[in-house]
Every structure is written in C-alpha cells, then in structure tokens.
Amino acid sequence: MEYVVRLAQVHESFRIPELKALASLANIDLEILTYSPDSPFCVIRLSSDEAARKLVSRSILTDSIYELWGSGTDYEALHADIHHRTQHRWPEYKTCSFKFKVLGYQHTLSQRAQVKVIESFDYLPFEGPIKMKNPEYDFGVLEHYVIRTKIPTIIYFGRFIADGGRNIYLPYDLKKRQYISTTSMDSELTFITANIAMAAPGKLLYDPFVGTGSLPIACSHFGAMTMGSDIDGRTVRGTKEKNITTNFDQYGLRPCLLDNFTSDLTNTPLRLTRFLDGIVCDPPYGVREGLRTLGKKDGTGLEVVYIDGVAAHLRPNYIHPKKSYSFDAMLEDVLDFAVLTLVDGGRLCMWMPTANEQGNEVDIPKHPSLQLEDVSTQAFNKWSRCLLTYSRLPDSEVVEVKTRTRPEILPGANADTLNSFRKRYFQGFRTPESTNGTRTP
C-alpha cells in the first residue's frame, strides 16, 4: 500500500535517514517512492496501516502519515487518480463518520476556498455524519505551493493514519534543563541522532564525548541504557546540585543511566570487546572547546615527579597533563574504537564539522569494517556539521584489510597545525584570493 508522509520542512537531509533507521528498527519493509528535499511530502510503500503507525510514532521529523488515495498536479488529475485507485473501496466508507481538512504547504487557503475544495470531493459516496471531533475517518487534502503563488503544483489526498513524533523532544528543551554547557546540542537534533542510532529498550549505547549528557538523554528517552565519558572531569562531575545524573533525574530517566566516568578515548579504559549496540558522539571541534588527549605537548613528563616524597600523580587533586590532538586522528580513533566494540549491525553516529567550500568534497573518515549508511548535514553560514552514520559489518562481510599510516604528531605541535577546521574557522573561511582582495588598499 502507498502512504504519503507529511514531513517537517527542517533538517531536510536527516528525514530519510531517520525514517530508514526507524523502519529497520521496527523490522518494517520501507520503499521510498518519491522524495525531494524541497517538499514536505514523501510517498512511500508499506505493508499495512499498523506498519505506518509504528514507523512514524517516534519520528521527530514526521508530522503525520496518510494512506495515499490519489495525487495529481491539479485537482482534475487528483480526482481522476482517486477514482482510479480507490473507487472499489468507497462502499466500505459509506456509513462511517468522517471529516476533511485541507493542509497547504507555503500557502493556506481561506476558509471559503477550503470549503470549495472539499465540495469538489462530493462524488465520494460518503453518507455518514460529518464529525469534526473524533470521526472514524479523517481525510486530508495536502497541497504543495511554490512560495508566493496561489495555485498548488501538486496535491495529495489521503486517509489520516497517525501523527508522528514532532512533540517528543519538546519537554527536553535546553532552556529548561538544569545542567548544560556552551556546546550542549539542541534537543531536536539529539533526538534525531538517537533515532538514527536506533536507540531502543534493551540496548547499550555509549557517548565517548558525553559533555553534559545531551545525546545519552535522548537515547535513554527511547529506552536504551546509556554510558558516557569525557576527558574533562569537571564536566562529568558537574556540581553537587547540577550534573549529568540530575539531568537524567529531571526527566525520570535515571533507571536508564548506567555510568559516567572520566577518560580519554585515545587511552580508553573500556575493554575492546564487542559489547556496544551503538555509539553516539559529538566530538569537540577544537573551536569552542579544546581537542585534547593525555600527554605533554613537549613530549616530556616521562618520569615520575615527586612532591614531598609522594609521587605527584598520586596526590589528591592532581591534574593530568593534556596536549592538543589532531581532529582527523581523533575521528580515526573513534572509528577504530567503534570497530572493536560495536556488535554486528551496531551503529556509530558521529557529528563532524566541515567548511562550506565549493568544489571541496567532504573528507569522510572510512573504515572497511564500517558501512557508511548516511551523511546528513546541518548548514550554518560559513560552515556545516554533518551527522555521519555507520553500521558495523559482520567480519564475514569485510572485504579489504586495512593498513593505515597515520602522520606522527611531533612534539610542540599546536592546535592550529593539528586541526585544519579550527584554523579555517578562525580565519573566517576566507580563500587566499579573497583575503588578498579585501586587504589590498
């Protein structure tokens, strides 16, 4: 059966990855028939209304789903298509209560014009009562207008099946969260990430750059057990009144919080065994927060330092030396870690910043044991961030064996030489020519 999904017209490149992930999670066969980033309407094929309900119930980017009765580029074509597709089913609806509504995208018809549209469906032999509240069947006329025009370019007609999950993330608004930091991710995107990571009851997900816990909270909302770590011990601990645990308490998600601890992903204390169902992370980009690993910048510190006869690192409040780290090397560490710890089919959802430069293909980190499922982009003015989604292939399906050479990080390397994104960011993403152009008197 064909269905038309009314999507939210935001975060466009995340919409299909989210639907695909939810279909896979619920074991639903999903076939995308028509989709365009410019349109909120997407036509799909599913086996049943039940599958449609399951598919969209937790979809953050779905407004609603309708069983498709017809579509057309004008009303004449629409009515012809409705006759063609559904005429044999009309008697089923003869005595039921029903209602019609007209929903336009980029233009809303006046009340009077809507009535006129609804009256054009008078050939449907519906004799039951019209009920505006809780009718047995709810039909929608979905119009798509090109902006600032008054004639729809495509119209869909369908029977309403279910609402999506647009409201799920609203109670998680960062403004009302007790413990956040400058880089906490907004709740809508964390919930989309949790869906694409296929967070669900019974699973264990891990965030190696947990910060204030935004991503694990979204995953735990969907029932997954979550665990997080961060190299910044102050963030992991928070204060007595405000910390990651109190955030979980705020939403009643404490039973889904396994543990948080302080650690460096490059020197991870986690056992390298296949025990994680998913990894979600938004690594530090090196702009608002530094990008660090353990060790000293100048390569010293190889011997134990004693203060008053006690080894310094065993004294209370010892601060572990950290040095700048290369962003590319860190992304590769994440991938290597994911390969070693994810179960077969387990997902890695990782955010990565890129500069918006024409002709510059985004350099996406790759690993032969990880299949790249989706790349979704959130664009800002001069830069973007992408959500990269990988799934762990079973070892039997891995073809090429990887040998990788990594440039050695020399002692004394500073944040700019290690992290080209950071460098470009602070240069304002100017090209060499434009810099010359504006600076020449």
Partner 1 sequence: MKILTLNFLTCARKACKPQATSFPLHPADSTLEIQESDLNIIFLQNILPRLDWPALISITTELGLPGLQAEPPEAEDLVVKEGGAKAEGEGMEVTEKSEESEKEASQLGKDLHRLLIETTIQEGKLMCACCGHEYAIKEGIANFLLPSHLV
User: Which residue ranges make up the site for partner 1 (CB under 8 A)?
Assistant: 201-204, 225, 227, 229, 231, 233, 236-237, 254-256, 258-264, 267-275, 277, 294-296, 300-304, 312-314, 318, 320-321, 343
Which C-beta is closer to partner 1: that of 19 or that of 217?
217
Least distance in angstroms from the C-beta of 262 to partner 1 = 4
Report the alpha-carbon distance of residue 223 to residue 366 in Å, rounded: 30
Give the helix ranges, DSSP H, for 161-258.
187-196, 214-221, 233-237, 244-250
Give the helix ranges, DSSP H, for 305-383.
327-341
Which C-beta is closer to partner 1: that of 85 or that of 274?
274
Which C-beta is closer to partner 1: that of 126 or that of 325?
325
Least distance in angstroms from the C-beta of 318 to partner 1 = 7
Calculate helix-pair angle for 187-196, 214-221, nearest 10 degrees: 60
Structure tokens at 267: 């020197």
> Within a 13 Å sphere around the CA of 18, how many CA atoms are in the beta-carbon half?
29
8 Å CB contact between 206 and 227: yes
Which C-beta is closer to partner 1: that of 52 or that of 205?
205
Please choose, from the candidates 171, 262, 261, 181, the residue with its C-alpha nearest in 3D space to the C-alpha of residue 218.
171
Which C-beta is closer to partner 1: that of 202 or that of 441?
202
Least distance in angstroms from the C-beta of 254 to partner 1 = 7
Least distance in angstroms from the C-beta of 284 to partner 1 = 16
Which C-beta is closer to partner 1: that of 32 or that of 258?
258
Least distance in angstroms from the C-beta of 245 to partner 1 = 8
Calculate helix-pair angle for 15-25, 187-196, nearest 10 degrees: 50
Report the alpha-carbon distance of residue 80 to residue 92 in Å, rounded: 20
What is the 8-class DSSP label of residue 111? H
Least distance in angstroms from the C-beta of 439 to partner 1 = 42
Least distance in angstroms from the C-beta of 249 to partner 1 = 12
Least distance in angstroms from the C-beta of 306 to partner 1 = 12
Strand pairing report for 257-262 and 225-230: parallel
Report the alpha-carbon distance of residue 344 to residue 197 in Å, rounded: 14
Give the helix ranges, DSSP H, for 39-101.
49-56, 75-86
| Integer angstrom CA distances of residue 367 from 97, 110, 122, 333, 370 | 56, 55, 58, 11, 5
Please choose, from the candidates 189, 208, 173, the residue with its C-alpha nearest in 3D space to the C-alpha of residue 335.
208
Which C-beta is closer to partner 1: that of 146 or that of 310?
310
Q: Distance from CA of residue 141 to its chain's centroid?
A: 29
| Integer angstrom CA distances of residue 406 from 109, 330, 401, 429 | 60, 11, 16, 26
Structure tokens at 194: 């949790």
Which C-beta is closer to partner 1: that of 269 or that of 359?
269
Least distance in angstroms from the C-beta of 255 to partner 1 = 4
Which C-beta is closer to partner 1: that of 207 or that of 277?
277
